[in-house]
């Protein structure tokens, strides 16, 4: 008889019932070829004794295996390993190594990628310069939890949670029609809206709808790297036009439209990523004419429109006369503290219907509970109050950071104060390569990137710059970060 006591080890601390552990192990032994087809297993009494278990447990394991066709009961002879299993080469008695310990044997292409931060864990006390994140401590998360609780206690929640459309909660879309009209002058109906998981999903779905392999897509230089990568992943050829202090160069866009069949334009109209510039009113007018003339598909990514300090934001391209060609993308993610990701796409109803069909293949639909909760927070004014409050705080943080950068880092840096958004596009003098600063900062407990990601695919720029997200840092944290940068810079200069 085989050494069943060694082969089968039971762990009573596991959640899995013991009989099932035995059954699973026996299956493993059959698969490994240790127990060959036609072999009779020991009687239940014998095996129970060997394993020091109750006989009923072994019987339950055998019944399990019989029901799964691994073994067959033979009258008056006991149970036999099923004969109709393919014969398998015997293996060693050692436990099978994980089938996932090595890569797949099939091939697959690489996906464009980059590192946002130097690797390593982020803890509660980590000091990080991020890309421009909101402060989750200010987000109305208690109100959000309260709404979730109240929804799951309502009589209709059962149906709300079960059924739903890939375009998102009807209640939320109704609220959004009002909200987007009030804040952006958008003239839309419910069927012009698809709610997504954050703006990135809206970008992906819109691009996957429009782009075919080798299509030309115009983007800024520089541009939001995850948009570039998304279009490249979908097979697009990117054409880059310069971005200056008034936004993307619209004449260069027109020039390209004249000479090539352009499929799509991707544009960030407010607080361009990474440079934070806003497309001027004059360029908007000109661009609208180009869009109409060339029937250009446009993704207008207006990801942080709701965060603007110095003047009111300019109405989006989407609110003007674009012949239905502008796919407008925005997000509530930054209002909800970044984890609860809810974005949206605005487009003609016929386009939204197709986009919803695609979204269903990618993600079925969104989180109805969160969407209903957000609808309530829009309706009762919580989001408006939160934006008012946090915009005030972010303005203060922006001004504090600008002040400290100027007074403490002086000529080592230069930047333009952005009218909104959550980051400053901070240039360092060539004397202080960001790669060096980032490495020294890590040693002083500050995590920051090297600025490399902002040069993704860049043709005409080579800035020694990074986005300094100020919104998620409170005044004390801003001061700590600038102190560290000052130590690095003055150390390098030999002044300290």
**Rule CB under 8 A: which of 319-358 touch its own copies?**
319-327, 337-341, 346-351, 354-355, 357-358
Q: How far is the CB of 495 from its own copies (least distance, A)?
A: 33
Task: Look up residue 26 and give its two tokens.
Answer: 């026996």
Contact between 122 and its own copies per CB under 8 A: yes
Q: Which of 5, 54, 149, 260 binds its own copies (CB under 8 A)?
A: 149
Which residues ranging from 11 to 50 are in contact with its own copies (CB under 8 A)? 14-16, 20, 23-24, 27-28, 31
Q: How far is the CB of 417 from its own copies (least distance, A)?
A: 14
Contact between 456 and its own copies per CB under 8 A: no
Q: Which of 69, 244, 251, 399 binds its own copies (CB under 8 A)?
A: 69
Closest CB to its own copies among residues 228, 486: 228
How many CA atoms are closer than 13 Å to the CA of 189, on its beta-carbon side? 5
Contact between 86 and its own copies per CB under 8 A: yes
Q: How far is the CB of 426 from its own copies (least distance, A)?
A: 20
Q: Which of 44, 57, 130, 382 binds its own copies (CB under 8 A)?
A: 130
Which residues ranging from 356 to 375 are in contact with its own copies (CB under 8 A)? 357-358, 360-365, 367-370
Q: How far apart are the first and last CA of the chain?
A: 79
How far is the C-alpha of 366 from the C-alpha of 163, rounded, in Å? 11
Q: How far is the CB of 359 from its own copies (least distance, A)?
A: 9
CB 220 within 8 A of CB 268: yes
Q: Which stretch binds its own copies (CB under 8 A): 292-300, 400-408, 410-418, 456-464?
A: 292-300
Q: Which residues on adjacent β-strands are paired with residue 217?
A: 238, 264
Neighbours of 69 (CB within 10 A): 10
Nearest alpha-carbon partner for 177 in 194, 167, 190? 190
How many CA atoms are closer than 13 Å to the CA of 440, on its beta-carbon side? 17
DSSP string covering 388-447, please?
Answer: HHHHHHHHHHHHHHHHHIIIIIGGGEE----SBSSEEEEEEPTTS-HHHHHHHHHHTTEE
Closest CB to its own copies among residues 49, 232: 232
Contact between 258 and its own copies per CB under 8 A: no
How far is the C-alpha of 352 from the C-alpha of 442, rounded, in Å? 45
Closest CB to its own copies among residues 117, 400: 117
Contact between 417 and its own copies per CB under 8 A: no
CB 466 within 8 A of CB 451: yes
Contact between 285 and its own copies per CB under 8 A: yes
Contact between 103 and its own copies per CB under 8 A: yes
Question: Which x/- pattern over 215-234 shows residues binding its own copies (rule: CB under 8 A)?
Answer: -----------x--xx--x-
CB 1 within 8 A of CB 39: no
Closest CB to its own copies among residues 19, 432: 19
Packing angle between helix 198-210 and helix 225-233, nearest 10 degrees?
Answer: 40
Contact between 416 and its own copies per CB under 8 A: no
């Amino acid at each position: 008889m085989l050494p069943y006591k060694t082969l089968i080890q039971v762990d009573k601390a596991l959640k899995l019932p013991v009989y099932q552990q035995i059954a699973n192990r026996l299956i493993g032994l059959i698969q490994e070829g240790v127990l060959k087809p036609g072999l009779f297993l020991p009687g239940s009494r014998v095996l129970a004794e060997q394993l020091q278990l109750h006989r009923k447990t072994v019987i339950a394991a055998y019944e399990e295996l019989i029901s799964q066709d691994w073994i067959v009961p033979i009258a008056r002879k006991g149970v036999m390993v099923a004969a109709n299993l393919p014969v398998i080469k015997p293996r060693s008695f050692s436990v099978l190594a994980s089938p996932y310990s090595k890569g797949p044997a099939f091939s697959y292409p690489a996906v464009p990628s980059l590192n946002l931060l130097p690797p390593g864990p982020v803890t509660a006390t980590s000091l990080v310069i991020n890309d421009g994140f909101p402060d989750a401590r200010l987000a109305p998360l208690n109100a959000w939890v309260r709404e979730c609780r109240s929804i799951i206690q309502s009589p209709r929640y059962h149906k709300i949670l079960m059924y739903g459309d890939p375009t998102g909660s009807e209640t939320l879309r109704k609220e959004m029609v009002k909200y987007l009209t009030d804040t952006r002058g958008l003239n839309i109906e419910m069927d012009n809206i698809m709610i997504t998981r954050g703006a990135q999903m809206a970008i992906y779905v819109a691009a996957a709808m429009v782009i075919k392999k080798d299509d030309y897509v115009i983007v800024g230089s520089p541009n939001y790297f995850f948009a570039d990568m998304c279009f490249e992943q979908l097979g697009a050829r990117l054409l880059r036009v310069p971005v200056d202090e008034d936004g993307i160069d619209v004449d260069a866009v027109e020039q390209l439209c004249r000479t090539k069949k352009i499929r799509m334009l991707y544009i960030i109209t407010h607080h361009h990523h990474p440079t934070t510039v806003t497309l001027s009113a004059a360029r908007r007018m000109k661009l609208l004419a180009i869009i109409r003339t060339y029937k250009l598909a446009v993704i207008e990514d207006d990801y942080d429109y709701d965060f603007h300090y110095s003047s009111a934001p300019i109405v989006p391209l989407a609110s003007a006369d674009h012949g239905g060609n502008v796919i407008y993308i925005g997000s509530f993610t930054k209002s909800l503290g970044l984890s609860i990701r809810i974005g949206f796409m605005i487009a003609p109803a016929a386009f939204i219907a197709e986009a919803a069909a695609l979204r269903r293949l990618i993600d079925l639909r969104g989180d109805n509970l969160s969407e209903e909760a957000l609808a309530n927070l829009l309706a009762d004014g919580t989001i408006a109050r939160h934006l008012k409050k946090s915009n005030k705080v972010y303005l203060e943080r922006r001004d504090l950071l600008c002040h400290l950068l100027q007074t403490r880092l002086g000529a080592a840096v230069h930047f333009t104060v952005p009218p909104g958004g959550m980051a400053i596009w901070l240039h360092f003098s060539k004397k202080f390569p960001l790669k060096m600063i980032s490495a020294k900062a890590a040693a002083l407990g500050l995590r920051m990137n090297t600025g490399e990601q902002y040069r993704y695919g860049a043709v005409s720029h080579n800035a020694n710059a990074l986005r300094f997200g100020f919104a998620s840092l409170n005044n004390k944290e801003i001061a700590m970060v600038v102190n560290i940068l000052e130590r690095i810079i003055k150390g390098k200069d030999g002044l300290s």
